[in-house]
Every structure is written in C-alpha cells, then in structure tokens.
Amino acid sequence: MTRRIAAAGALILGAARAAGAQAPWGSWGAQAIPSLTQSNVVPGGVALAELRVVQPMLMGQGGAFDNHLLGEAVLDGEGWTIPNGEITPGIWGEGFVDRRHPHTYFHELMLSGVDLLGRWDGGANLSVSAGKGFAPFGSDDPMVRPVLRYPMNHHYSQILERAVAIAAVRAGPVSAEAGLFNGDEPVSPSSWPNMDRFGDSWSARLRVTPLPPLELEGSYAHVRSPENREPIGLDQVKWHASARWERGPAYALAEWARTSEGGGAYVFNSVLVEGTWRAGPHRPYARFEQTDRPEEERRPDDPYRLQRPVLDNTLLGVTHWTIVTGGYSFEPPLRARFYVRPLVEASWIRVRTVGGGVFDPAVWYGRTEGYQLSVGIRLGYGMTMQRMGSYGIAPAMNSMLGMPGDGAPSR
C-alpha cells in the first residue's frame, strides 16, 4: 500500500513539474489556548474544574509550480498538554468518553497536485491529494470554528487522522471528492494509521455553491471497524448533510449526521446549528446540538475511558444529549503578527436515555441537567487556521470568519 502512496506522490510531482516552475511560497503559524473549564456533568456528580492548554499547534502550508503543487501540515501537541483529555461532557471517541481525546502529534501531513490535466472544457479542474489527514466527509474540523467546546458529533461529522488518497473535481459551483482510507482510529497521540488496512474504507462528498455566501454539502462513508485496530469490529455507514453561510461579519452552519452500525442494528443521529456575528473586535457566538451517544463499558480504573478493543459489541444503552452553548470572544487589533483573543463560554447540558438499556445518567452523573463553563484566551502568531479537512481544489470557499490567514493565495 505504501507503493500506491508513493505512486500518487510521483504523479503529483510529475504533473507539477510539467506545469512550469515559479517561485515557491510558504507560510506558518502557531497557536495555543490556555483555558479553565468547570462542569458538574461528570462521573460522580461533583463539579470538576481543570486548567489546561488545548489546541497547541504548529501550522504550515506552501505551494510551488504556480500552485500546482500544494502542501500543508499541522503538528498538534495535545499528547503533552492534555494526555488524559479535556472535560467535555457528552463527547466520546478514540477510547475517551466525557473528555475530548488528544489529537495525534501529526494531525495533518498532506500533499496535493492541482489542475493535473489542465482545464477541461467548461472550466473543470482536477486534483489528487495524499497523506495523513481528513477523509472527504462532513463539515470543517471544529477547531477552526468559533466555539471552543467541541461538539459531541465530532466523530459523526468528521473522519480524521487517516491515511488518505483523494481525487477531487470542480466545475463552476460544484465540487466532488472521493477518497480511500484506513478504517481504524488512532489509539494514542503517537499512533500512525494501520497501513495494512489502507483502502478498506471509502467516502465521497459533494458540495454545491448556488450563491457565493451559501455552500450546500452531502457526504457518505463506509468505515470498516473503526473502533478496533484490527478489522474485527462493527462497520459504520455514515451520512452527513449541511448548509453553510459566510458573508461579511456573519457565519452560520446547520448540519445533520447519521451513523449506523451492525447493518443498521444501531443508529445514532445528530443535528447541530451554530453561528457568530462579528462587530469590530466583538464576536458573540452560539451553538445548539442534539446528539445520540452509545453507552459502552468503561474501564474500571478510569471512568473517562472505554474498554478497547471492544470484545462483544454490546451496548449498555443509548443516551440523547441536548447542549446549548453561548460565548463571547474579544479580538483587539494588534499591529504585530501576534493575536490575543480572550473568550468566555457557557453550556447548558441535558441528557436522557432512549430505547432502554441499563445505563442511567441520573445515577452515573448524579443529575440529568448541568453546565459547563470555560474562560480562556487564544494566543497565536503568524498565519491562523483556515478551513481544515479539504484538500486540492475541493474547498468552494476556503475561508473562516474571524480567522483570516496569510497563507495560500486564491486559486
């Protein structure tokens, strides 16, 4: 499988060289968010507060050969700053539960060849991308969106940190992507994809921009045994649809996600709406989310970790979470390339069981309603995060409100 990645890379380089060289460019940046978070929706029901540094990242992107060759990398230090995750009631994934897992040290390492065959009639454009990153599925990575708190549906609406090979085509307002990747999730911050499984999973995404501010998206994925390193677990079938609006000071996203396991034996749904409005340095924002979560056996030595690998593929129950989040960020103008953005954020959380089962949130958390409060400050230098999770020519609108970058020139 490594030979296939190398062949894709050779195709990209060969096409880029044929396009004729111009001066290459590059840009980089760094960010981190010290934050203090408290919640009473934790195992045992006693309020817990923690001071952590989240999303410490070093980012870089560049291009050569008149932007026919593009590269991007994101290094993430959460394996050092939050090795045991950060408090996020309701979230789960990669063996963590009620704590957001740390991302892998190499979050993205992608190389893309753009306009490989020249422009076709009608202005169509083709790109090929390969490396470690996001499969072509769902919405943008939450870390480049306004809300500090990660949504519960992170693993319903994104497929991340996989070895991927992606082909994308764009013609006017329509772009389509298809990709192959390995189904297994990382098991630690230092994990690399299991290359023996490369190509056992696939996804496709269609985007349409009928009007420049509005982007419509639909995705499908078949993921082989994501919760087991070896392909011995249940497969997932995933659907996702969203509408995204970004114009002037306004940004809004509405999305729906559905994941089924075991041939439809287990079905989990999610809906999310979020938005922000920027008025000078002031940036209020809000999010509403309702998401189903499977309740699985937790480790006896740690109530925030799940038993992995899953041996019997049974559920203790399903919970339905409603989370309403509001926040405010202040973005003072600075002349230097540094940015400093204080923020305060609060979430109201409600959880209930659906469909029976033995898991009782009232017993586990000591309540069925509670809160999460966070105060923090985004610190950064250089380029800031743009939309993460799309490569090559796929992004129809490659920007993110309030997070302007000095990276790639428009293409």
In which band, very low, low, confident or very high, does the pLDDT at 334 lie, cut at 50, 70 and 90?
confident
Return d(Cα 234, Cα 184) in angstroms, integer. 11
Are 99 and 87 in contact, with CB atoms under 8 Å apart? Answer: yes
Mean local confidence (pLDDT), 149-172? 96
Are 325 and 310 in contact, with CB atoms under 8 Å apart? Answer: no
Asked if the structure places residue 365 within a domain, the reply is: yes
Return d(Cα 360, Cα 41) in angstroms, integer. 13
pLDDT digits (tens, 9 = 90+) for 298-313: 999 999 999 877 666 6
Asked if the structure places residue 391 within a domain, the reply is: no
Asked if the structure places residue 397 within a domain, the reply is: no
| Residue-number span of the structural domain to which 88 is assigned | 2-19+33-382
What CATH number did the domain enclosing 371 receive?
Answer: 2.40.160.10
Structure tokens belonging to residue 43: 């195992």
pLDDT digits (tens, 9 = 90+) for 36-62: 999 999 999 899 999 999 999 999 999
Asked if the structure places residue 398 within a domain, the reply is: no
Contacts of 274 (CB under 8 A, 6+ apart): 145, 146, 147, 252, 253, 285, 286, 287, 288
pLDDT digits (tens, 9 = 90+) for 340-376: 999 999 999 999 999 888 999 999 999 999 999 999 9
Asked if the structure places residue 52 within a domain, the reply is: yes
What is the total count of domains within the chain? 1
Asked if the structure places residue 403 within a domain, the reply is: no
Asked if the structure places residue 409 within a domain, the reply is: no
Phi, psi angle pair for 197, to nearest 5°: -105, 5
The residue with greater pLDDT, 142 or 10, is 142
Q: What is the pLDDT of residue 161?
A: 96
Tell me which of 9-18, 78-87, 118-127 is least confident: 9-18
Q: What is the pLDDT of residue 227?
A: 85
Are 215 and 227 in contact, with CB atoms under 8 Å apart? Answer: no
Q: What is the pLDDT of residue 397?
A: 44
pLDDT digits (tens, 9 = 90+) for 184-240: 999 999 999 999 999 999 999 999 999 889 999 999 999 999 988 888 888 999 999
pTM: 0.89
Are 55 and 96 in contact, with CB atoms under 8 Å apart? Answer: no
395 pLDDT above the threshold of 90: no
Q: What is the pLDDT of residue 335?
A: 74
Asked if the structure places residue 404 within a domain, the reply is: no
Q: How far is CA 12 from CA 175, 176, 195, 224, 237, in A?
A: 20, 19, 21, 28, 31
